[in-house]
Amino acid sequence: MSKREDITYFGAGPAALPTEVLQQSAHALVNYEGTGLGLAEHSHRSHHAARILNDAKQNLAFFLDVPDNYEVLFMQGGGSGEFSAVVYNMVGAWVTRKQNAILEHLGVNSEEEADPDELLAKLKQAVENELKLDYLITGSWSLKAYQEATRLLGPEHTNVVTDSRTLNGGSFGKIADESTWNFSKDPTFIYYCDNETVDGVEFPKFPETLAPNKDGLGPIVVADMSSNILSRRIPVENFGLIFFGAQKNLGPAGVTVVIIKESFLPPATPQPSPALMRKLGLPIPPVVLSYETIAKNNSLYNTLSIFDVYVAGEVLKRLIANFPDRIDGQEKLAAQKAEIIYTALEEHPDIYRVVPDKTVRSRMNICFRVTMTEDVEGSEKEFIRLAEQRGLTGLKGHRSVGGIRASNYNSISLDGALRLAAFLREYANH
């Protein structure tokens, strides 16, 4: 039987959590702050829950340097739920903006002053000719997001800006040069996944093509950061919306976080009525995926898992305590660990083949094949077996692509990265 301290878990998610956080959370699960009830038993509308939620929001904003004009929402549904929620909400915001532009063009101050038939006709024309969602497909998760948008709106309203498979023989592993990207004329938003867990591909930095100009104006950018959030500094102000599941670097599976610019929420941008969306032939979000509803109710419209938020909050407190320079300190450590592992792999090119191109290698999900024999799968099974004997677990690649995947999330210590690097060298020389 293994002891927790003997294991370094490299699984892609749910990821390992800091032992100290788990120990404190275990106590809270049984008896929270001497109340005689475990935290999972307290009402999500209690003052305990409100304090936990507000503290987690504030600490997340503090650690990431989130600007004041952004709202932090805690939701459910995971990243896959956000594939849909992003479409529902951001298309609704686009309809509101488009309607306001039409009203201004018509020279009236409100919807009530306009001819309803004329307004509806112009809106329908705008939907038909102008509504377009742009997707950068660089891995399995951005592909799934694009497919969901196409399912909800139809292919006539989605555009592939770039598809990495065209560069790499039908497989993911590269990102095309930005000069080749094919944007729509005025997209509703531009979507990308910052780190692809399955394929080991990460954008090395925020794409220059998407950056705002000197006046602060630019495209509306939406990003999935589920697997690299809290691992490096990000220019939050460049995004309209960022979302991420908690289960990689923040906490257990069960909560999803959305960081959204307030200009996409009421009162700045109220969602159009369901009646109008039906007339336009556009989808209406389930109420639990409505950013407007979640924001109005401080993330407590329905029963949020406060215990999961509590764990995430404790992770954030630990990060703040361990890194006085906040996200910059964690970024340095993440890069150091990744460099240690990649260096060990590169020392033995006859034994290991790193899957993605060097220019886009993920710091979070290090994907490689064991190629020392023609029987690659057999070699990889042996590699995993020997690694597990040394307490290095969770190294099996995603079922869709196979291979080995070492997920270098924040929970992996420097010592854990060194242990894996030592085993890589040992295996190569055995």
344-347 contacts, C-beta under 8 A, 24 or more apart: 344/420, 344/421, 344/422, 344/424, 344/425, 345/424, 347/425, 347/428
Residue 386 confidence (pLDDT) above 90: yes
Contact 306, 53 (CB under 8 A): yes
Residue 423 confidence (pLDDT) above 80: yes
Q: Determine the Cα–Cα distance for residues 122 and 95; give it in Å rounded to an integer.
A: 11
pLDDT at 73: 98
Q: Which residues pair with 354 in a beta bridge?
A: 368
Report which DSSP code applies to 209. Answer: G
Confidence of residue 2 (pLDDT cuts 50, 70, 90): confident
Confidence of residue 113 (pLDDT cuts 50, 70, 90): confident
pTM of the model: 0.96
| Structural Rg of the chain based on CA atoms | 23
